[in-house]
Every structure is written in structure tokens, then in C-alpha cells.
Amino acid sequence: MGLNLKELVVREKTTLESFSSKVIAIDAYNAIYQFLASIRGPDGLQLSDSEGRITSHLSGLLYRNINFLSLGIKPVYVFDGKPPSLKTAEIERRKQIKKDATIKYEKAIAEGNLEDARKFAQQTTSMKDGMVKESKQILSYFGIPYIDAASEGEATAAHLTNTGQAYASASQDFDSILCGAKRLIRNFTNSGRRKIPNRNTYVEIEPEIIETQKTLDSLEITREQIVDIGILIGTDFNPNGFDRIGPKTALKMIKQYSRLEDIPQIQEQLQTIEYEKIRKIFLEPIVTDVDEIVFGKVDYEGMTNYLVKERSFSEDRIQSSLNRLRKALEKKSHNLDQWFS
DNA sequence: CAGCCTTA
DNA sequence: TAAGGCTGG
């Protein structure tokens, strides 16, 4: 989560439209988590159905995928499998953050501070049992394929960009770069303003693309070296990174000494982490091979039944959203007919 | 987050 | 009609 390569990578602004007809491997956990965190009311409560079950992830997946398909983008979602054992500490750290946030949330609610309540509620976000299955169900109604990765979803998503089965991977996390993704798309959404918590300001969010080779060329380093830089800054497998080393210092050290083992001032701390194993997670990731990625047809009726009858979505809204999709897809097939006639 | 309604 | 605010479930 917190791998701050933002300042080092070459990021280029782009648009959703530019990915029309391209297969994009989406880090499913990353996307769903973001929906769960942000699709909330002013008090921080998530959307839920008549039985009190959370529906924020379903709402997010519905509208975003309607946009993808309407633009002719071919998303494939990659779900996480078993995390590497080295991630245990990071998983515990995140649990603790959620615990702390829960207390802060309750305090903010008691004090009637909605802005804070919402912010802390977002920090308590967690993936509950059943959400993955429900998300896959929505994707199935769309005819959108998904893959169950053996280990980290990002790793398999990155792999697909190298087999040529996907044009790019999409995630907010820079780990994809370390995993060897050819291209990474961040903010893979409609562009728009996003509010900064507790401030009356907005930032414009636009999709951006990072071409890994371009970044390596501009930094004049290798893939192995950017992994070492990641380890210096801190990855999920050594969350704290190294003392007083940020992106700039990390780059400088690697350019001067080439690799972790040869940086004199870090040797003592280097012995406290399993850096060779961490390198291996990124350089030889456990990935899942896929024969063929098959896109199906949209099951409008199934989708409507599920969302309206079982998950309390408004029939009018679903109808008009799906009509929008149907029209966009019809237009595309018309264009295709013209091409072949 | 994303759609839709209000506003000027 | 473009930006800002409100609401969805």
C-alpha cells in the first residue's frame, strides 16, 4: 500500500477513452477496497440493502464497468490468492490501524463531527466474507472475466501485461511496477474532482499511465535496482523501510552503489530484514497463467433481478443505467457492421 | 465513486 | 452548461 514511488516514476496524463478496445488487468482487491472506502454517506456509513448487508462495492462495480464497456474497454479482474508469508506483519499493522480508527470514529460520532467521522470510518474499511463472491457475481452478469491469482493479484495482473494478454494493469499501488508490469494505469476512472478530507478543497483526478521502461530509462537504473529502491523506501514486506531514507535518498544510494549489499551506511539494518526473499517476491513473483481471456454477453435481466430484488437497488436507476450501456454497445456493433460491409 | 439535480 | 452539492442502498 504505502510504496511511495510517486516522485520517481514517469507519469503521463491520459484518458479512459484511450484504452478503448484494450484488455486491462485490474487489481480487483484494490478496486473493491476503494469502493468500500469511498462510497459512503456523510456520516461514513456505507450503502446497504434491506437486510443491512453492505452494497458499496456492488454500486461501484456496476457504474464503473458500465463506463468501461460503453467505451469499449475490456476489463479483466484479478483477485488475490494467498498472500506471501512475509506480508503477515503488514497485515497485522493494517488491522491495528483499523482498530484505532474505529475508536476515533466512535469519538467523532459522539462529538457530532461528521467530517472526522467519515474520514475515520474510511480507515476502518475491510473486506468482509462474501464480498468477493458478490463482486464476481456482478462481473459475471456483465460477461466480464476474472482470474483467481495463486498469490498477489498485482503479480498476475503484471504478468498478463508481459504475455501480451493485457495492455496494462490498473491499480493505485506502485507495487505493480516492482512486479514487472509493462504499463500501470492509476486513477482508472472517469476524471473528476475528489474532495480532500477536512479541507474545503478539491483535486482533479485524471487517469495516468506509467510505462515501466520509460521510468527505468529516465532514472538510468534496472528493474532489479528499482526493486532495491522499493525495499529501501518500504514495501508490504518491510513496511517501515529504512531509517531516514525516502525516494530521493534511495535513488541516490542505488545509483551510487548499485545494490543493497553495497551501500555501506545501511548494512546493519539490512541484516534485520529478509531482503533476498523480498526481492524474489517482486522479481520472480508467483503468477497464474491463463489460456484465454473470454468476454461474454451482458445478462441485463440477471443483473437487474439480483440488484433490485436481492440488494435493494432502485429499479429506475438500474433500468436507465443499463439502457445507457445497451445503447452504447448497440452503437459499437453498428460501427463494426459498417466496417465489415 | 458516480449519477443526477440544482443553481446561476 | 459547468460547477457544486446531494444521494444512492
Query: pLDDT tens digit string along A21-40?
Result: 999 999 999 999 999 999 99
Question: Cβ of A194 < 7 Å from strand C?
Answer: no
Q: Give the residue nearest to nucleotide B1 (CA to C1').
A: A39
- CB hemisphere CA count around A64 (13 angstroms): 25
pLDDT above 90: residue A197:
no
The domains found in chain A, sorted by start residue, are: 1-219 (3.40.50.1010), 220-285 (1.10.150.20)
Q: Give the residue nearest to nucleotide C3 (CA to C1').
A: A193
- CB hemisphere CA count around A286 (13 angstroms): 13
Residue A80 known to bind ligand: yes
Of A28, A197, A193, A188, residue with least CA distance to A123: A197
Of A129, A121, A152, residue with least CA distance to A45: A121
Which bases in strand B are touched by protein, i.e. have an atom under 7 Å from a CB? 1-4
Distance A211 CA to C4 C1' (A): 35
User: How far is the first Cα of chain A from the last one, in angstroms, to the nearest whole number?
Assistant: 50
The model's confidence at residue A167, banded by pLDDT at 50, 70 and 90, is very high
Question: Could you identify the residue written with the cell 529504512?
Answer: A242
Give the three-state DSSP class for A77: strand
Average pLDDT, chain A: 95
* Residue-level pLDDT at A203: 81
Query: pLDDT tens digit string along A249-291?
Result: 999 999 999 999 999 999 999 999 999 999 999 999 999 999 9
Cα separation values, A79 from A31, A185, A332, Å? 10, 17, 29
The model's confidence at residue A212, banded by pLDDT at 50, 70 and 90, is very high
Handedness of CA A323, A327, A332, A334 (dihedral sign): positive
Which bases in strand C are touched by protein, i.e. have an atom under 7 Å from a CB? 4, 7-9
